[in-house]
């Protein structure tokens, strides 16, 4: 790590704790306004992210968005990211009854019907809206929720994130070792939440996302199909001062073959595209979703069990 990056990394955790104290100390409406303004500041400072967001908006919608519209979505994305951060940082001081009022659900019956089958539910979501609040809101309504979390660069931050999630009642499984825990949770008929919208490690395929091939992990869907769990997409977004969750019907595909998993991924991408189109400022456009291209990735990374060029899938 270069000296500048090392210094920034060392300062990141204290900055998070200051933000946490501020979010808790202020009344919620004031905190949301302040953190929205902080998002505006971040937008002005982070030129690299600004450029990447505009590039990705152009990939997704091309000339259907004017340059001015792309800049407006970018500015609102930073602002909404800050506003969404407030309720995550306020977890320790938010009662479950308040969470039930704060987060409204549409389609909860789809989740209940899937759970009633007794084989567990893979709740598929994305870095969209206040994704951390989604799990806490389900717990507040009486559901048992497990999540698979990634390792982070700062151990202090990892511990703090885990503490916030666990204080909200979410059961956390970390990294590769956490796979055993989520398999057990599914076999016990519980909910396992995963975020499936980024190019991360492990087995993956390239399939279309907003019309361009994007590398997408397959492990969560592979596990769910092997154990017979239902796959239920659900996404949360912020409207004014409340959060809205839309739970979709379970993906209807069955079986654990590679083609079945590819059908799942295609269906998931269509749902995510629709939700992003409806609420474009709620998705994290600065992630390098399309960075790795098929021609630059080793063939063995396409799909662990069958590394072949046939895994470059389009709809």
Show the domain range for 272. 3-311
**pLDDT tens for residues 264-307?**
999 999 999 999 999 999 999 999 999 888 865 544 344 433 33
176: domain CATH number is 3.40.1130
- pLDDT(233) > 90: yes
pLDDT at position 35 over 60: yes
Asked whether the beta carbons of 267 and 251 are under 8 A apart, the reply is yes
User: What is the count of structural domains for the chain?
Assistant: 1
pLDDT digits (tens, 9 = 90+) for 5-22: 444 456 778 888 899 999
pLDDT (tens digit per residue) in 46-74: 999 999 999 999 999 999 999 999 999 99
Residue with tokens 């600065």: 286
Which residues are CB-contacts of 268 (< 8 A; sequence separation ≥ 6)? 124, 196, 231, 233, 251
Q: 289: helix, coil or strand?
A: coil
| Calpha distance 113→109 (Å, rounded) | 6
């Amino acid at each position: 790590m270069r000296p500048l990056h090392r210094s920034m990394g060392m300062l990141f955790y204290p900055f998070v704790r200051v933000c946490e104290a501020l979010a808790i100390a202020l009344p919620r409406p004031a905190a949301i306004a302040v953190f929205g303004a902080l998002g505006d500041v971040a937008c002005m400072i982070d030129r690299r992210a600004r450029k990447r967001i505009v590039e990705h908006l152009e990939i997704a919608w091309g000339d259907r968005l004017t340059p001015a519209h792309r800049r407006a979505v970018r500015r609102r994305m930073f602002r909404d990211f800050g506003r969404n951060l407030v309720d995550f940082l306020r977890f320790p001081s938010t009662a479950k009854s308040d969470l039930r009022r704060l987060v409204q659900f549409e389609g909860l019956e789809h989740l209940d019907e899937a759970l009633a089958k007794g084989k567990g539910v893979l709740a598929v979501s994305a870095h969209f809206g206040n994704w951390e609040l989604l799990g806490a809101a389900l717990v507040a309504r009486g559901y048992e929720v497990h999540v698979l979390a990634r390792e982070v660069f700062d151990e202090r931050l990892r511990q703090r994130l885990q503490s916030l999630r666990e204080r909200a009642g979410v059961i956390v499984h970390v990294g590769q070792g956490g796979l055993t825990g989520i398999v057990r949770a599914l076999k016990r008929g519980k909910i396992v939440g995963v975020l499936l919208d980024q190019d991360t490690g492990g087995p993956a395929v390239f399939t279309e996302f907003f019309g361009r091939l994007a590398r997408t992990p397959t492990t969560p869907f592979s596990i769910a199909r092997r154990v017979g769990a239902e796959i239920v997409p659900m996404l949360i977004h912020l409207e004014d001062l409340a959060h809205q969750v839309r739970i979709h019907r379970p993906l209807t595909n069955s079986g654990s073959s590679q083609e079945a998993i590819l059908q799942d991924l295609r269906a998931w991408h269509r749902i995510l595209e629709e939700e992003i189109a409806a609420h474009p400022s709620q998705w994290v456009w600065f992630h390098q979703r399309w960075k790795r291209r098929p021609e630059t990735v080793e063939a063995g990374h396409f799909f662990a069990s069958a590394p072949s060029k046939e895994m470059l899938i389009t709809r």
